Amino acid sequence: MIIFQGVTKTYKGSQGEVSAIREISFKIDPREFVSLVGKSGAGKSTIIKLLTGEEKPTKGRIIFGSYDVTKQEQDELYRMRRHIGTVFQDFKLLPEKTAYENIAFALEIAGKPQTEIDELVPRALDIVGLGRQAYNFPREMSGGEKQRVAIARAMINNPDVIIADEPTGNLDPINTAEIINLLLKINELGTTIILATHNKDIINSLKRRVISLENGEIIRDEEKGKYILF
């Protein structure tokens, strides 16, 4: 369960204070697939950064499972983040590592033994449909393939939640559909998905819960929502 309770985040920038989100409240149940939508600057990334503890709220409370995110010390935050997988628009793969090594690295950091790595990485590559590209470097892969490696890496430690921040922003419509289908498949296997996007075709085809943001406030929160903002 994820809970945002009256959360406000104000950044102090060179131009003075910017209220990125104001009095945001919502709950996300385990195994939900939730899209966060809104124009650039609406507050999507701020919500994600607050959820992972990368930023602290100015006001309000954030709960992630058994963790009170707002009160965590740094080492507790690291522990909490093991339950979260992240996927970004620009993939964030390590350029000098192959697809296999990029995924394996996430297990190495988590201290998993080699035997487990040898078993889990090929299975993850299979799930994302990249068995044959295992030994390709990122520069040898298309955008869609790179994003599938990033998704395999995000799911390899079996997180409770995958946060995908504009994961299809650099992809064509065919690859976009494939990445969304992959996220749906991972959701069906039991992982909560939080998808931040401003792609209305995705939202309208998903027919899942949509939280719509405008100027840092929730203007709509609908089961099986549609993207009717703009």
Nearer to ligand ADP, 88 or 100 (CB): 88
Encode 156-176: b = buried (16+ Cβ within 10 Å), e = exposed.
bbebbbbbbbbbbbbbeeebb
Long-range contacts of 99-103 (CB under 8 A, 24+ apart): 99/125, 99/130, 99/133, 99/134, 99/135, 99/136, 99/137, 99/138, 99/141, 99/145, 99/149, 99/152, 100/125, 100/134, 100/135, 102/138, 102/149, 102/153, 103/149, 103/152, 103/153, 103/156
Burial of 19 (0-12, 13-18, 19+ CB in 10 A): middle
Nearer to ligand ADP, 40 or 74 (CB): 40
Provide, rounded to whole angstroms, the least separation between the CB of residue 43 and ligand ADP: 4
Provide, rounded to whole angstroms, the least separation between the CB of residue 42 and ligand ADP: 4
Nearer to ligand ADP, 59 or 123 (CB): 59
Binding site for ligand ADP (CB under 6 A): 11, 13, 18, 20, 38, 40-46
59 Cβ partners below 8 Å, 6+ apart? 6, 7, 8
Nearer to ligand ADP, 42 or 154 (CB): 42
Provide, rounded to whole angstroms, the least separation between the CB of residue 191 and ligand ADP: 22
CA distance 103 to 138: 12
Nearer to ligand ADP, 36 or 128 (CB): 36
Provide, rounded to whole angstroms, the least separation between the CB of residue 29 and ligand ADP: 23
Provide, rounded to whole angstroms, the least separation between the CB of residue 55 and ligand ADP: 8
Can you say how many angstroms the Cα of residue 15 is from the centroid of all Cα atoms in its chain?
29
Provide, rounded to whole angstroms, the least separation between the CB of residue 17 and ligand ADP: 9
Nearer to ligand ADP, 8 or 157 (CB): 8
- Token look-up 């819960």 returns 209
